[in-house]
Amino acid sequence: MKVDLTVNGSQHAVDVADNALLSDVLRETLGLTGTHIGCDTSQCGACTVHLNGRSVKACTVLAGQADGGDVTTIEGIANGDELHPMQVAFRANHALQCGFCTPGMIMSAIDLVQSANEPLSAEEVREGLEGNFCRCTGYHNIVRAVLDAQANM
Amino acid sequence: MYTFNFRRASSLEDAQQIHQSSSDAVYVAGGMTLIPSLKLRLANPDDVVDLSQIDGLGAISSADGAVSVGAMARHCEVAATTDIPALAALANRIGDGQVRNRGTIGGSLANNDPAADYPAAVLGLGATIHTNSRTIAGDDFFVDLFETALGDGEIITRVDFPIPKRAAYAKFANQASKYAVVGVMVAETDSGVRVGVTGAGACAFRLTSFEDALSANMSASALDGIDVDSSDFNSDLHASAAYRGSLVTVMAKQAVEQLTA
């Protein structure tokens, strides 16, 4: 099956199996391994990317469903050497321990902040990130980072 | 995942034609239930027919005292509507953010998970379900566990929700999945008080004993002493049938309190 995707601004026409997942295409076909597969059962959110501007779990989107879509992964958010404000805030607040959940956390957090009509409270950030698990349980600093980043986005 | 053919439908007619010509086809809308089921090998269709490329199937509009929600409208889009705040609030508490960005109302209703939220809205608000071939009253739509009035290959196109005078939805959510252990929609509509319950039974249902009591007196105390028969309710590791029975009253009272606040 042929699937056309724009990934981080570059156009790709990929030939994949009919049952390929978006996460397979990103990691295996395009080599973008920043999108992590944690649970592979739609629960942990480590594979979160943006599809047409909204956060989705790439392990629960069939590649064919994304045909013609615009995908942004963790590799696509920095501006050259200049990190995205959310990346800066995660680093400044030590919002990662092992780091496995971090790409998904950052992609979810960016959509969360961008979709909010007004500044988010800590409570709203916690609720808004309920689709992402940090198994190190490093949530306090993740919430601090998101609150910090929203002032700079 | 087993192998299957991924088929893109360009129109409703095309979708139905692909479905009819396949020995075993399944439609995919958002895929928030289907894809995990495929991955767990709980489903093994020959053809997966994608409905997302069909024009206009996700439109939301308001007219003549009703909100019309296209079948492919995502939960996040329903959550952003304003004409029926109880419906928007319900949509905003489905799953998590990523699920709400993909999952659709049509997919949820066609799947008829006993713990899904939208069925309570369809019954509580007295919605009408439109398909590619007919119109189905919401009251006639939910048949049994994962079973609806939809015929083989029939496709939901939109759901019309009459705007209620006032309505509220209260849910006791499973902490991990956010599915409703029990969810209750209470609405005061032009056709009277309606109470839709999800999570408790094999599929969503109306609770007429509550409707009668609330018609006479729209207050939480009006539900005191009304027996909820939980003998047929779901019982699993999350909650016993009796516990769900108790939750029906508690959630209904919470909804009434929200609605009268």
The tens digit of pLDDT for each residue in B22-39 reads 999 999 999 999 999 999
Pick among A21, A24, A37, A62 to test the B interface (most B CBs inside 10 A): A62
Q: Hey, what domains does chain A have and what are their CATH numbers?
A: 2-76 (3.10.20.30), 85-150 (1.10.150.120)
Q: Roughly what angle, to the nearest 10 degrees, separates helices A139-150 and A102-115?
A: 40
Q: Roughly what angle, to the nearest 10 degrees, separates helices A85-92 and A139-150?
A: 140
CB nearest to B98's CB, from A40, A57, A67: A57
Note whether B179 and B173 are within 8 A (CB).
yes
Question: Between chains, do B3 and A18 touch, taking CB under 8 Å as contact?
Answer: yes
Residue B14 confidence (pLDDT): 98
CA atoms of B137 and B96, how far apart (whole Å): 29
Pairing of strands B60-63, B66-70: antiparallel
Q: What is the CATH topology of the domain spanning B1-50?
A: 3.30.43
**B231 pLDDT tier (thresholds 50, 70, 90):** very high
CA atoms of A87 and A109, how far apart (whole Å): 10
Residue for token pair 């209620």: B164
CA atoms of B196 and B213, how far apart (whole Å): 14
Question: Between chains, do A65 and B50 touch, taking CB under 8 Å as contact?
Answer: yes
CA atoms of B103 and B80, how far apart (whole Å): 14
* Chain B hits for A43, Cβ within 8 Å: 176
Mean pLDDT (chain A) is 97
Residue A104 confidence (pLDDT): 98
**B216 pLDDT tier (thresholds 50, 70, 90):** very high
CA atoms of A51 and B76, how far apart (whole Å): 14
CA atoms of B64 and B57, how far apart (whole Å): 20
Helix (H, G, I), strand (E, B) or coil at B216: helix
CB nearest to B31's CB, from A1, A60, A108: A60
What DSSP character marks residue B46? S
**Tens digits of residue pLDDT in A118-149:** 999 999 999 999 999 999 999 999 999 999 99
**A18 pLDDT tier (thresholds 50, 70, 90):** very high
Give me the mean pLDDT over the B129-142 stretch. 98
* Chain A hits for B5, Cβ within 8 Å: 18
Please list, in sequence order, all residues whose beta carbon lies within 8 angstroms of the beta carbon of residue A151, skipping any fewer than 6 positions away: A119
Pick among B10, B54, B98 to test the A interface (most A CBs inside 10 A): B98
Residue B207 confidence (pLDDT): 98
Residue A120 confidence (pLDDT): 98
Taking CA–CA distances from B36, the nearest residue in chain A reads A41
Closest CA–CA distance from residue A71 to any residue of chain B (Å): 14
For A131, the token pair is: 């689709």
For chain B, what are the domain ranges? 1-50, 166-260
C-alpha dist (Å) from residue B14 to A70, B22, B26, B111:
25, 12, 14, 21
**B179 pLDDT tier (thresholds 50, 70, 90):** very high
CA atoms of A50 and B62, how far apart (whole Å): 29
Q: How many CB pairs under 8 A join A and B?
A: 76
Taking the CB of residue A145, how many other CB atoms lie within 10 A of it?
25
Closest CA–CA distance from residue A79 to any residue of chain B (Å): 25
Give me the mean pLDDT over the B62-87 stretch. 97
Question: Between chains, do A62 and B5 touch, taking CB under 8 Å as contact?
Answer: no
**B140 pLDDT tier (thresholds 50, 70, 90):** very high
Note whether A90 and A49 are within 8 A (CB).
no
**Tens digits of residue pLDDT in A81-120:** 999 999 999 999 999 999 999 999 999 999 999 999 899 9
Question: What beta strand segments (E) does B82-218 contain?
Answer: 128-131, 135-137, 142-144, 147-148, 156-162, 166-173, 180-189, 192-198, 205-206
**A68 pLDDT tier (thresholds 50, 70, 90):** very high
Residue B206 confidence (pLDDT): 98
CB nearest to B98's CB, from A21, A55, A67: A55
Helix/strand/coil (H/E/C) assignment for every residue in B231-249: CCCCCCCCCCHHHHHHHHH
**Superfamily (CATH H level) for B166-260:** CO dehydrogenase flavoprotein, C-terminal domain (3.30.390.50)
**Tens digits of residue pLDDT in B82-123:** 999 999 999 999 999 999 999 999 999 999 999 999 999 999
Closest CA–CA distance from residue B221 to any residue of chain A (Å): 32
Residue B166 confidence (pLDDT): 98
Q: How many CA atoms lie within 13 A of B205 on its CB side?
A: 17
Sign of CA dihedral B2, B5, B6, B11: negative
B185 burial via Cβ count (<10 Å: 0-12, 13-18, 19+): buried
The residues of B whose Cβ lies within 8 A of any Cβ of A are: 1-6, 8, 28, 31-32, 35-36, 38-40, 48, 50, 52-53, 76, 95-99, 101-102, 176, 178
Helix (H) / strand (E) containing B47: strand B47-50
Closest CA–CA distance from residue A48 to any residue of chain B (Å): 8
Residue B23 confidence (pLDDT): 95
Taking CA–CA distances from B37, the nearest residue in chain A reads A41
What DSSP character marks residue B104? B
* Chain B hits for A42, Cβ within 8 Å: 32, 35-36, 99
